[in-house]
Amino acid sequence: MDAKTQKSELTRATIVGAAMELAAAQGLEAISLQAVADRVGLSKSGVFSRIGSREALQKAVVDEYGHRFLADVFVPAMQLPRGLPRLNEIMRRWSLRVCQVEVRSGCIFTAGAFELHDREGELRDHLVQAISGWRAALRRTVQQAITLGQLRADTDAEQLVGELYGLVIGLLHDARFMRDPRAIERTQTSWTRLVASYQA
């Protein structure tokens, strides 16, 4: 990669990072080329030349958030044995991310879902696709635990993923909004009880 390309990629990363901070604080709809340009010290046309439209920037934020989320939560868990060890590690890491990162900056997946739930359009579709991909990875992990006999054969993977998701959204609410210092402890207790109810 030559110096010019490297600088261009660095600038793009800076733009997307600034837009992500804006989205975390004010929502995906708060992103505008001008607002991000002001944050990074570029002209509006300079942002456009590197990213494209406002919609392209919003999608780039969703993608970058997804990459960071997976790097923190999913990828490290894949180092553990398949099935329940991975699922427990995913839940542990997800809970830690909520309390160490998202309690301060917000969760773009969750906040975006509430922000866009009744709006149609490409941004909503893009966010749905990103979250659906994450839920599919969770379902595969649950299915592996079923196949390995760690969870009952009649376990409904979609149901368990929905319950897991509900626990994490509840944790985000209690940790970020209620500022409950024991939120993560309660969530882990609930997770342990939930998994036990599905075990053979």
Q: What is the pLDDT of residues 88-97, one digit of tens each?
A: 999 999 999 9
Which residues have C-beta within 8 Å of that of residue 33, sequence separation ≥ 6? 44, 47, 48, 51, 53, 54, 57
Cα distances (angstroms) measured from residue 57 to each of 17, 23, 107, 140, 183: 10, 11, 17, 30, 34
Residue 33, both tokens = 């080329």
CATH architecture assignment, domain 55-198: Orthogonal Bundle (1.10)
Domains of the chain by residue range:
55-198
Asked if 52 and 61 count as a contact pair (C-beta separation under 8 A), the reply is no
The terminus-to-terminus CA distance of the chain in angstroms comes to 53
Asked if 19 and 57 count as a contact pair (C-beta separation under 8 A), the reply is yes
- The mean per-residue pLDDT over the stretch 93-119 comes to 93
Confidence band for 5, pLDDT divided at 50, 70 and 90: low
Residue 74 pLDDT more than 80?
yes
Q: What is the mean pLDDT of the chain?
A: 94
- The mean per-residue pLDDT over the stretch 54-73 comes to 97
